[in-house]
Structure 1
């Protein structure tokens, strides 16, 4: 795990002597690798305003770190089976996080140092708040989509008593549009197959002879059809239950079955479009965040808006990435950059 300390210390005009002294002390025991962390001269107000900003920056620092962790976890969840490539998407301004911190330069265009410090802090706070708001709405939409898809998938993964039958049965398995006849589906335990074949015609009056057919089976039993007159349905159900046969409540509705199939296809398509890198059911894993810690340790003298698509976001677009993953990549970078600017302000 890499750990970064931002240290402010009295030094010469160029701060080179302080860095040299730091290198001399730490290199003997290989304690650390030291680099210069350039902080510009800011437009300082009154002492009271600086004290107030110090408290606000502490809260903003905590908020920014929490937001970054949530975004990193969202990338992990979206990547699913490609979790080994998560670090490739957690970059800052196109470079890995270590390189960004060790080669940090203040973004003069985004956070002009000629502005009062309170204005700079306000700009960063609004930027992070917008990213968080967008993150909540995007992840909520994704989670709703994922939940709906998982609910449909569960229906097709249960046993014969609970699973959907729309992908098993066909129109040819049923007698349809008959005023007098109806086809029922009966679940028969595997040890009772022979008994079913011998007795189903006599379980009730008016059962159509030789009308049973095995549709499908699982480890516990099979799903059989049987055709009979509508007026003996209840009597047949009672007799079937007495013989450990279970009539599954199901009536073939071609429009409803087609609607369910289309819904599944739509959800799968929508989910895949959110991120092209993977398209299987989401697997929850442990939280993953880049192995970097940033601490502010004062010694002597006491870190792009998410709304709309930015130029950097457009540049990052490529084949194999859906809009959610693309948004997470771009705005993780923006949030991390803002966080390090907060750190710089706290050191100052």
Structure 2
């Protein structure tokens, strides 16, 4: 099931307590869903007027970013053509894995070693990735040669973290917790600090310089692609792209400009590629099909024509098979000045014969007229070796150009789908933050939770959530059962008129990018 619910509830004494209460009731006791914490960093709240105005704008931005992500995914499926069944496994989102632990250290270092060894066998700028069925596709991975030090990135990063851990163990003898200060030149993704109960309850950010251990700042954690469910269930705020020191409005503008540029580039690239593909398809159609419409250049030879004659010319005639005998017995009588016995059968398909016939140039138009009356079709064709060679070269050139554009275009679509999808989830996080502040007030104290409902338990889950949080707003449950408010209450800034309203903040995510329609 590709549907997820993103909700937030006001914090209890701690956010962990809020999550545990909800998780115990819905997951452990009733098994109607799987729950994940959804960490949102400490964002700048701003004024009430700013939040109200931003709430409506974020709703529009949410729809636009989702639509763009789906457009990119749809076009990737079109570009893959006969390999469209591989679309789902190519829709990935970049995921920052956060600090490694002892159990994964050896495994990940082994992966980096494999990457280093594989560089000897890959072609420049051409990667391959083995899918779940064991087959390989040229378009399916980034070449490890894109970064000269790909394996060193893993080694340097893990060395930093484990040196930090050793330094932390030494320091813990005198202090239970290290005093951490912000790093001055960090450029990598950081683990977010949950805003649910303030910064003291969130996970510490790794982009710091440790006092007293001499380790310094960490190298960037290498990004690894993740499937879409893994990305949202392990969501981390991208501090590098969307700095939390910026206002909420500025972060929304950053996302809007980023996705707007991707949308504009998609239109440009898709138009160019579609034109190329269309031209190639038109030429390929002319190489096949009925003799009435197909290109005859690859069917005829020089000896089929009278060339360089001042008076004579050769025509190509399409004859229905049912009228084959009529042509053989009567073509010389269609008009005057036809060279006797000049017609020969060149080729045939299921419905037609292709004949040539030689006659004087002065009677060509008369011949065409009378031939049409007898249901014989004269094809307009002039034998010119240079033009025929140019036509064949054009097809070869288009095929080559399409192959050259295919790989880079697929890589661009995969990268920018990831960008759009990640931006979309960040917009959802912004909406949860804004709506939670508007609903629950200040100081900021809420727990965001990502819920994956069981397919046939959504109504039961809704009842349990109303049981937990119905007291927050009685009007949301007064109409009965587990549904939202039957009356569409449009409160400016809160967007209640645009969707079902519940006593808790609620947004639905459908991450099925293959079949779902916007």
| Pairing partner for 1:181 from 309, 312, 327 | 312
Matched, 1:125 2:210: no
Alignment of 1:35-54 (within 5 A): 35-54=36-55
Aligned to 1:301: none
| Secondary structure, aligned partner of 1:92 | strand
Match of 2:324 in 1: 193
In the alignment, the residues of structure 2 paired with residue 247 and residue 80 of structure 1 have an alpha-carbon distance, to the nearest angstrom, of 37
**1:29: Cα distance to partner?**
2.6
Please tell me whether residue 248 in structure 1 is matched to residue 379 in structure 2.
yes
Matched, 1:5 2:5: yes
- More deviation, 178-187/211-220: 211-220
C-alpha change, 1:214 and 1:14, in structure 2 (3 Å) is farther
Secondary structure class of the residue paired with 2:256: helix
Deviation at 1:242, TM superposition (A): 4.3
What secondary structure sits across from 2:244 in the alignment?
Answer: coil
List runs of 5+ in structure 1 lacking aligned partners.
276-321
Which residue of the partner structure matches residue 324 of structure 1? Answer: 409
CA distance in 2, matches of 1:33, 1:139: 39
Change (3 A) 1:190 1:10: same
Q: 3-state DSSP class of the match of 1:268?
A: helix
State the Cα distance separating 1:209 from its structure 2 match: 2.9
Equivalent position of 2:349 in the other structure: 218
Aligned to 2:298: 167
Residue by residue, what CA displacement relative to the aligned partner does 1:209-249 show, whole Å, maximum 9, x if unpaired? 33221112122220101112222323433443444333222
Give the C-alpha shift of residue 110 in structure 1. 1.3
- Structure 1 stretch displaced more, 196-205 or 165-174: 196-205
1:240–1:112 CA distance, 2 compared to 1 (3 A): closer
Q: TM-score, normalised by structure 1?
A: 0.82
Rounded Cα–Cα distance in structure 2 between residues aligned with 1:24 and 1:48: 37
Task: Give yes or no for the alignment of 1:336 onto 2:467.
Answer: no
Count of residue pairs the alignment pairs up: 302
Q: How does 1:22-171 map to 2 (within 5 A)?
A: 22-27=22-27, 28-93=29-94, 94-171=225-302
SS at match of 2:308: coil
Q: Which moved more, 1:70-79 or 1:240-249?
A: 240-249
Q: Which of 365, 369, 372 is the matching residue for 1:234?
A: 365
Shift in Å, 1:40 = 0.7
Q: Secondary structure at the match of 1:9?
A: strand
Displacement of 1:14 in angstroms is: 4.9
Could you tell me how far apart the structure 1 residues matched to 2:245 and 2:370 are? 88
Q: 1:13 to 1:335 in 2, by over 3 A?
A: farther
Between the aligned partners of 2:245 and 2:231, the Cα distance in structure 1 is 24
TM superposition shift of 1:12: 4.2
Question: Normalised by the size of structure 2, how large is the TM-score?
Answer: 0.56
Shift of residue 19, structure 1, vs aligned partner: 1.2
Following the alignment from structure 2 to structure 1, what is the Cα–Cα distance between the partners of residues 13 and 79?
Answer: 48
Return the offset for 1:13: 6.2
CA offsets per residue over residues 291-339 of structure 1, 9 Å max, x none? xxxxxxxxxxxxxxxxxxxxxxxxxxxxxxx111100000000111111
Change in Cα spacing, 1:13 to 1:43, as seen in structure 2 (3 Å) is farther
CA distance in 1, matches of 2:369, 2:239: 81
Separation of aligned partners in 1, 2:299 and 2:318: 14
SS class of match (1:135):
helix
Task: Measure the CA separation in 1 of the matches of 2:296 and 2:63.
Answer: 51
**1:272/1:156 Cα in 2 relative to 1: closer, same or farther (>3 Å)?**
same
Unmatched tracts of structure 2, length 5 or more: 95-224, 434-518
Q: 1:342 to 1:214 in 2, by over 3 A?
A: same
Q: Partners in 1 of 2:45 and 2:264 — Cα distance?
A: 31
